[in-house]
Amino acid sequence: MTARLVIMGPQGAGKGTQAARLAEHLAVPAISTGDIFRANIKGGTPLGELAQSYTARGELVPDSVTNDMVRDRLAQADAAEGFILDGYPRNAAQVAELDAILAGHEVALDAVVELTADRAELLERLRLRAQVEGREDDTEESIARRLDIYDEQTAPLTAAYAERGLLVRIDGIGEIDEVADRIAVALDDALAHRAV
Ligand code: ADP
């Protein structure tokens, strides 16, 4: 079964973890723009050099860079039957770009999963993650900046996807397995009833 999905939600909502679970459940690749940037930064590539100053501060990497990267990634063979996009789109221009990329492949999104969690829970999880993972952008300033950008630019995108009948909202509070089950049940239902 093909499945072309976006997973959205604020920093700390568990997107990456759940995207990986879902990728296994649906047998499609999880594509995280943040992971691609981090791999390039680590590898010292030109893309990594370009992205580093933005990611470290918690600012969005410019759309011109991010959009090209996603276009290239979605053109790879393993994404032909589906994908779970984690961390993209994050603003209205990226929504339009994703629509254009998919139209070029004569395909469309099947669903957009929004993981929700309240700010107190997010901050607690991010504090823990900072201790465990030691990510360069898990400083207090960068976390605050990323949450602000999420509220201002990314959260409003869910309304547009809801209008298209694509939005599946899932409570992100609970054990990882519990949340994974919630997503699987809701998505299996959404995918079974999608327009063909
Ligand atoms: P988080 O969700 O915790 O911010 P990510 O791994 O998704 O972490 O992203 C890390 C950083 O990578 C972001 O702060 C941003 O600088 C950059 N990035 C990731 N996705 C995008 C995107 N779609 N557009 C612009 N920048 C992005």
Q: Are 17 and 128 in contact (CB under 8 A)?
A: no
Query: Strand pairing of 30-32 and 3-8?
Result: unpaired
pLDDT beyond 70 at 6: yes
The answer, yes or no, to whether any atom of ligand 1 lies below 6 A from the CB of 34, is yes
pLDDT of residue 1: 78
Residue-level pLDDT at 26: 93
State in Å: Cα 196 to ligand 1 middle.
Answer: 32
- Host domain of residue 176: 3-195
Residue 90 Cβ < 6 Å to ligand 1: yes
Cα–Cα distance measured from residue 21 to residue 172, given in angstroms and rounded to the nearest whole number: 14
pLDDT band, residue 195 (cuts 50/70/90): low
Q: Which residues are catalytic?
A: 15, 90, 129, 135, 146
Give how far Cα 48 sits from Cα of 34, 41, 112, Å: 11, 4, 28
Check whether 196 has a pLDDT greater than 60: no
Q: What is the mean pLDDT of residues 188-196?
A: 81
In this prediction, residues 109-130 reach a mean pLDDT of 93
Residues 6+ apart with CB under 8 A from 83: 4, 5, 28, 29, 30, 31, 74
- Full-model pTM: 0.95
Q: Which two tokens stand for residue 105?
A: 């492949």
Cis amide prior to 62 (ω within 30 degrees) = no
pLDDT of residue 134: 87
Q: Which atom of ligand 1 is nearest to the CA of 35?
A: 6
Phi, psi of 82 (to 5 degrees): 145, 175
Q: For 47-95, how does the pLDDT look when each residue is reduced to its tens digit (9 = 90+)?
A: 999 999 999 999 999 999 999 999 999 999 999 999 999 999 999 999 9
How far is Cα 8 from Cα 113, in angstroms, rounded to an integer?
A: 6
Q: What rounded mean pLDDT belongs to the chain?
A: 95
Ligand 1 centroid to residue 193 C-alpha, Å:
32
Which two structure tokens, joined as six digits, stand for 30?
A: 């999880």
Residue 180's pLDDT is: 96
Region 121-134 average pLDDT: 91
Number of domains in the chain: 1
Q: Give the domain CATH number at 95.
A: 3.40.50.300
Contacts of 157 (CB under 8 A, 6+ apart): 8, 89, 90, 91, 92, 95
Tell whether ligand 1 has an atom less than 6 A from the beta carbon of residue 6.
Answer: no
pLDDT value of position 68:
97
